[in-house]
Homo-oligomer: A and B are copies of this chain.
Amino acid sequence: MSDFDRVEVIDNGAALRLLREDGSDLRFHAIWLRDNALDPATRSPGNGQRLITIGEIPAATRIESAVLDAANRLTVTFAPENKTVDFRLAWLNALAYDRTPAMEAGWLPESCETWDGGFATRLPQLDFTRAKQDPQALANWLAAVRRFGFAIMTGGPVESGALLEVAALFGFVRETNYGRWFEVKSEIAPSNLAYTSLGLQAHSDNPYRDPVPTMQLLYCLENTAEGGESFVVDGFRAVQRLRQENPDGFALLSRHCARFEYAGTSDTHLRSRKPIIELAPDGELVGVRFNNRSMAAVTDVPYEAMPAYYAAYRHLATIVDDPAMAASFKLEPGASFLVDNTRVLHGRKGFSGSGSRWLQGCYPDKDGLLSTLAVLQNNGRRIAAE
């Protein structure tokens, strides 16, 4: 709704008010408009970057005049610079910050949809060959990863290292002490319990890393063992349930840092200090860290709060372990799954028998994935260019 039909300068030029015929309005401050101006002296027309610093904008900036024309263009003249800039109303409307509602701690953006075990019947899937040939199909698959934190890719080559071809469809892989990619097989003297045939509780990977790997890709090369099914749990749904069932517990796990640690080989000693439930300063739920194997001694919770903290952690674990939360599947060779490791927990059942189970894993970056998605969705044009 950008059908404004009037503008007025308010607060002695400190702001302006756009008015609709129905009486509703939207306000913008002089300093915000000036700082976000899109004229070529303020933003580089080539790359969209801002060419001036905040210090180059006079502190006394105010709106000298504001005019709205029939082409949905707002023309503003700023004093003391005596600088005139045009703004498009649709652009202003999209960036409106007036009257944004206060949100409850643990809120999620609309682009995110949480799920429980019923998700197993509708796991997003795409064939690898189609992903390479059909940008729209790839965009839909990436959008599913953004929405659900999880998707499966089928029909890839059954050869070592093929996971990098999947990652290259959308972004870049983060190299770590485990290499650019790593083998997930049973080992005799495992440096990590992932390299055994034990079942693994649903967990997020590498919470001892800071920043935590944002995504994990697990690619199947052999899977004839008995058992070894994979399952995933939406950590955001688990946290939402905790908040509903135990609001104080939710608050405790988000307000205090846990500790995570890994020193499984002699050349590595990784440690982090991060909360199990991570919120943005305004309460957006932005991350879940959950890993019984690498949680270290928690030392940042006051003595009086420790019993309730542990009760909340136990409560969250009960939710994570609830079979109703888990979406299970078994990967065929050439298939892989991608999880948002800041959100979705993954686990596996134990395996045995004469068959084998061989996966390879790597950590692609989520920001690169979201960038590719934005470009594919033809939103690649920067806002500055609109």
Contact = CB atoms under 8 A, between A and B. Distances in A.
A132 interface: no
Contacts of A381: 263
A32 B273 CA distance: 17
A272 B367 contact: yes
A192 B49 CA distance: 7
Nearest to A179: B172
Contacts of A155: none
Contacts of A272: 367
A46 interface: yes
A85 interface: no
B264 A49 contact: yes
Nearest to A381: B263
A89 interface: no
A371 B177 contact: yes
Given A54-B292, A366-B210, A280 B303 contact: no
A189 B368 CA distance: 24
Given A55-B314, A95-B299, A97-B303, A255 B282 contact: yes
Interface stretch (A67-75, A146-154, A226-234, A372-380): A372-380
Interface string A91-112: 0000111111000000000000
Given A281-B275, A297-B36, A382-B261, A177 B52 contact: no
Contacts of A137: none
Contact of A269 (B54, B173, B284, B382): B382
Given A176-B172, A210-B366, A295 B50 contact: yes
What is the oligomeric copy number? 2
Interface in A275-308: 275, 279-282, 284, 292-303, 306-307
A255 B281 contact: yes
Nearest to A382: B263
B257 A281 contact: yes
Interface in A253-276: 254-257, 261-275
A31 B303 contact: no
A318 interface: yes
Contact of A306 (B29, B173, B274): B29
A385 B266 CA distance: 12
A190 interface: yes
Contacts of A52: 292
Interface residues of A, number: 102
Interface string A147-189: 0000000000000000000000000111111000000000001
B97 A29 contact: no
Contact of A268 (B98, B307, B371): B371
A332 interface: no
Contacts of A265: 47
Contact of A96 (B175, B193, B271, B299): B299
A237 interface: no
A172 B297 CA distance: 27
Given A176-B172, A271-B370, A300-B282, A310 B31 contact: yes
Contacts of A383: 261, 296-297
Given A54-B313, A270-B370, A273-B284, 14 more contacts: A48-B262, A97-B301, A98-B303, A174-B175, A175-B175, A257-B280, A263-B385, A267-B372, A269-B371, A269-B375, A270-B367, A274-B280, A279-B281, A282-B300
